[in-house]
Structures are given as C-alpha cells and as structure tokens.
Structure 1
Amino acid sequence: MSSTAIHVTDIEAAINWWRERAPSPDGISAAPEVQALAEAYALLALSRATEVEADTLKPQALDAWMTWYATTPDSPCIAICSTAQGDAVCKGCGRSFDEVQHWPALDPFEKRVVWHRILQEGTAWRFNRYAERVTR
C-alpha cells in the first residue's frame, strides 16, 4: 500500500458511516457523500483493486473520506508501549519504533496504512489481552 492510497475497507467504512449519518429518505437515493464514495468504490471493484490513490478521488469523495477519517481514533496506542523498553515493534499497539516516534508528523493516509497493517496482523495486545482498552 502506498503512503497516499486509501484501502477499500476505509472506503467501505466511510460509506457506511455516511449512510448512518445521512440515511436515504426514500430507500433509493443516497446522500451526495455516499454517492461520491460509492463511485470510487465501484471503480475499485471494476478494476479489482484494493486501494485507490487519494489524489485520484474527486474532491467530494475525498472530502467525505476526510470527514469520516476525522471520526476515527487517531492513534492505536493503548498506553502499553514496549518500544520505550527497546522493542522494535510495540507489543501494545503493533507499530514500529519509527512509527511511534513519527506518528504526530504522519498524514491521514500514512496513518491509515499503519492502521490497516496492524489490523491485518492482529497480533498486538490491543487485539487480544488488552482489547478492553480499545475504542475503535
């Protein structure tokens, strides 16, 4: 995944968030944000791709995605940081030492790349024994 790519699961999550926020008044039509994101989703499906470059999205789709993104947790941290103890990868959140150190400087797309990776790996303590600390 490139650093400015948006994964299909994020497009899906944004569509569902917008559908809940702005439900169809008639069961047929969709909010403009849903329509914009659905177009990007359809293009991904047609090309059998799993990600889209953010700069190829139409402005309305990117704005809708950024609005959804602003509602997501910023950091995967669960306040158990083993990188402070010398681990290359944090046992608590699954981020590398560099990712933990540079997190504030990462843009939303870079952060979502990391989030996607740690969700796929599912090995960090945030996903098992300390899952009660997580609000996703």
Structure 2
Amino acid sequence: MVFVSIQDLEAAINYWRGQSPAVGEELHLCPEAAALAKPYALMIVQGAQRVPMDVLDEAAKLAIQGYLKISK
C-alpha cells in the first residue's frame, strides 16, 4: 500500500497555489489545491502523519501524483 505524508500534501498544496494563486474576492483555491485541502485538514484533525493513497478521491490522487512527478 502506498502512503502520502502530511508533509507531501502540504508541499503539494503550496506548489499548486504557487502555480495558480487564489483568485476573486472569495479567494477560491485552484482545483488541485482544493482537492488536497480536505484530506490535509482531516489529517490535521485526526493527528495522522500519512494517509493511504487509495482513500483519496480521484481529483486528490491526480493532484498529488502530478506534484510528486515533478518534485522528484
């Protein structure tokens, strides 16, 4: 089973925010950062340091995989 660390999720959110900053008065996150925000928040609340990749929804999987591909 493949896991994603909370550090990787945070770095991916920051990367995607840098690529496509929040816009509008509401400061909407780009789709990639928004997809990663929910699992990141859940990990913080639960005190988890990593999450299995297979529990992420499709949008979050694509966002983290895209980040990991270019960051390694």
Percent sequence identity is 32
| Stretches of structure 1 lacking an aligned partner (at least 5 in a row) | 74-136
For 2:59 and 2:66, the matched residues in 1 are separated by 10
Q: How do 1:1-136 residues align onto structure 2 when only pairs under 5 Å count?
A: 3-26=1-24, 28-73=27-72
The size of the alignment, in residue pairs, is 71
**In the TM superposition, what whole-angstrom CA distance separates every residue of 1:93-117 from its partner, at most 9, and x where no partner exists?**
xxxxxxxxxxxxxxxxxxxxxxxxx
Q: What displacement does 1:26 show?
A: 2.1
CA distance in 1 between partners of 2:29 and 2:67 (Å):
16
Q: Which SS does the other structure have where 1:52 is aligned?
A: strand
Q: Which structure carries more relative contact order (alpha carbon 8 Å, separation 6+)?
A: 2
Counterpart amino acid of 1:45?
Answer: I
Q: Offset of 1:25 from its aligned partner?
A: 1.6
Over aligned residues, Cα RMSD in angstroms? 1.2
- The 3-state SS of whatever aligns with 2:63 is helix
* Amino acid corresponding to residue 52 of structure 2 in structure 1: E
TM-score normalised by structure 1 residue count? 0.50
- Equivalent residue letter for 1:12: E
1:13 maps to a residue whose letter is A
In our comparison, the structure showing a higher alpha carbon Rg is: 1
SS across alignment from 2:71: coil
The equivalent of 1:119 in structure 2 is none
What TM-score do the two structures reach when normalised by structure 2? 0.91
User: Which has a greater percent of helix?
Assistant: 2
